[in-house]
Amino acid sequence: MRRLLLALPFALLPLAVAHAHDEHDHDHDHGTLGAHEHGVAKLNAVLDGNTLELELDSPAMNVVGFEHAAASDADKAKVAAARQQLEQPLKLFGLAQAAGCAVDSQELESPLFGDAAHADDDDDGDAHEHAHGHQHADVHAHYQFTCATPGKLTQLDLGPLFQTFPQTQKVNVQLIGPNGQKGVETTPGKAVVVF
**Whole-Å CA distances, 33 to 23, 29, 113, 168:** 6, 10, 26, 18
- Indicate the pLDDT class of residue 5, thresholds 50, 70 and 90: low
Does residue 18 carry a pLDDT above 80?
no
- In angstroms, the CA 59 to CA 67 distance is 8
Burial class (CB in 10 A: 0-12, 13-18, 19+), 93: buried
CB 154 within 8 A of CB 195: yes
If DSSP codes are grouped into helix, strand and coil, which group holds residue 157? strand
User: Is a pLDDT exceeding 70 seen at residue 94?
Assistant: yes
Residue of 195, 135, 156, 123 lying closest to 56 (CA atoms): 156
CA–CA dist 135, 125 (Å, integer): 7
185 Cβ neighbours under 8 A, 6+ residues apart: 170, 171, 172, 173
The pTM is what? 0.75
Q: Residue ranges of the domains in the chain?
A: 2-17+38-194
Query: For position 79, what pLDDT does the model report?
Result: 96
Asked if pLDDT for residue 56 goes beyond 90, the answer is yes
Q: At CA 16, angle to CA 174 and CA 136, rounded to 5?
A: 85
Residue 20: how many other CB atoms lie within 10 Å: 15
Which helix (H) or strand (E) segment holds residue 40: the answer is: strand 40-48
* pLDDT tens track for 113-168: 974 333 333 444 433 333 344 577 999 999 999 999 999 999 999 999 999 999 99
Q: How far apart are CA 144 and CA 188, in angstroms?
A: 24
Rg of the chain on CA atoms, in Å: 17
Tell me, what's the pLDDT at 32?
33
In Å, what is the CA distance from 21 to each residue of 6, 16, 81, 142?
Answer: 23, 8, 37, 28
Confidence check: pLDDT of 109 > 60: yes
- 108 CB-near residues (< 8 Å, 6+ apart): 83, 86, 87, 139, 140, 141
Are 177 and 193 spatial neighbours (Cβ–Cβ below 8 Å)?
Answer: no
